[in-house]
Amino acid sequence: MQTNISRNQLFWASCLALLVTSLSFGIRAGILGRLGVQFNLNASQLATIAATAFWGFPLAIVVGGMIVDAIGMKKLLMMAFIFHLAGILLTIFASGFWTLFLSTLLIGIANGTVEAACNPLIAAIYPDNKTTKLNHFHLWFPGGIVIGTLLVFAFDKIGLGWQVQVGTMIIPTLLYGYLFSKLQFPVTERVAKGVSTGEMYKALLNPLFLIMIILMFGTAITELFTGQWIDVLLKNVSDNAILLLTVETGVMVLGRGLAEPVVHKLSPPGVLVISAILSALGIYLLGHTTGNMLFVGALIFGMGVCYFWPTMLGFVSENLPKTGAVGMNLMGGAGMFAVSVYMMFMGGYYDKLLVKKLPEGADLKVYQEAPANSEMANALSEAKKAAGPEILNTTLIIPIILSVAFICLFFYMRGRKKTQLTMQPAAGA
């Protein structure tokens, strides 16, 4: 590594950029229902707005991954700064569905651009400790969600509007933009090792990489769909639904901070097996319990999804290093794309469930516009109380499938490691 590069400063500036990304998730999750009321949006429209962030993310992370070696990580991060600032300001001055749609798209592009640059940056500055440092970096994602949801909760209590809550993101955005503009960057790990572009794209066709892409669909949906929609799905089941997200993400912060001993003790495939099992148990509890047991479910769910995202990236970077920045960013892009599709599908499904649970022939929009505490409003509340857990029960299928898949991956990787160890003496003879 170049002597004039400060990896600690680059690491902390990266964490600050990821903090803005996660604040956008936490604050949006907290104000999503309020946006629906203020702008008269139904669940399908809210799902489309929320999903837009997940469209912009894969678009940016895939394109960014393809150009980061050529233009450098610094230029990408300065682009992220511009997109973040524009998206935040447009959200504050939103006037309806389309301005919310565009602002969320811009923030999604910014979020994807941050990861397109920062994931390979962390791998480049910590080549011997990738999975652990990626976990440490990604703890700022749940960390920012905790901060964002607590800000929403606290600001609501003192009567500050959602525009002020969104505006708080401007401060860390300006800070990370300033820091990155002053720092020197290394080249990506692939460029440093002299792996050609042709070798990199050939490595993307490795069957193991293609399997990891498919598994990333499931891990991303399990973590991000559930977290982003928990307030909407369980608001009528619990008076503190947004605090469930705070508990879940708080556990994730702690877990990712303690990643080093966990990853080294269990190995990345072992961590993924346990993560999938705990995620399934957590979603089951969230969908089948009430009261304080919901917080137990959120706690277990947070323990489950805690290591998914950074460990999936670390696994690819360590076991398929020739895939380079494109490989890591394709993983992230695939995950976010899967979430966007699933979120839109589930938004429409949620509206259909509500209609089913209302009196025959009911017009959902009429019920949504009914005065508080009226017969229609109470009927809608009961419908939501039943529909939210049903969405969670449907999503539960995904981590159950992942549990089986990661057990297979665990034994495959253990077998491959044994084969490599037995071949070493023969190679040196």
Summarize pLDDT for 233-278 with one digit per residue, the tens. Answer: 676 566 666 677 778 888 888 898 888 888 878 888 999 999 999 9
The pLDDT, as a whole number, for residue 373 is: 75
Q: Are the C-beta atoms of residues 312 and 330 closer than 8 Å to each other?
A: no
**What is the pLDDT, as a whole number, of residue 429?**
41
pLDDT per residue rounded down to tens, the chain (429 residues): 555 778 889 999 999 999 999 888 778 767 777 788 888 887 778 878 877 877 788 888 888 888 888 888 999 999 999 999 999 999 999 888 899 999 989 998 999 899 889 988 998 888 888 888 998 998 888 888 778 778 877 887 888 888 888 899 999 999 999 999 999 998 887 787 888 888 888 999 999 999 999 999 999 999 988 876 676 667 656 666 667 777 888 888 889 888 888 887 888 899 999 999 999 999 999 888 878 888 899 899 999 999 999 999 989 988 998 898 889 889 988 998 898 889 888 888 888 888 888 888 777 777 777 777 788 878 877 787 777 788 888 999 999 999 999 999 999 998 887 777 776 655 444
DSSP state for residue 236 in the 8-state scheme: T
State both tokens at 31: 């104000």
Residue 123 CA, chain-centre distance (Å), reads: 19
Does this model's pTM top 0.85?
A: no
Signed CA dihedral, 369, 370, 371, 373: sign only: negative
The Cα–Cα gap between 160 and 361 comes to 39
Strand (E) or helix (H) holding 412: helix 397-428
Q: How many Å apart are CA 378 and CA 384, to the nearest integer?
A: 10
CATH architecture assignment, domain 7-414: Up-down Bundle (1.20)
DSSP 188: P
Nearest in space to 131 (alpha carbons), one of 329, 332, 271, 337: 271
In 72-196, alpha helices (H): 73-92, 97-125, 130-138, 140-158, 162-167, 170-182, 189-193
Structure tokens at 41: 């949006």
Sequence ranges of the domains in the chain: 7-414
Q: What is the Cα 146 distance to its own chain's centre?
A: 13
CA–CA separation, 233 and 242 (whole Å):
10
How confident is the model over 161-180, as pLDDT tens digits?
888 888 999 999 999 999 99
Place of tokens 């692939």: 190
pLDDT in tens, 336-353: 889 888 988 888 888 888
Q: Are 228 and 343 in contact (CB under 8 A)?
A: yes
- Residue 425, pLDDT score: 56
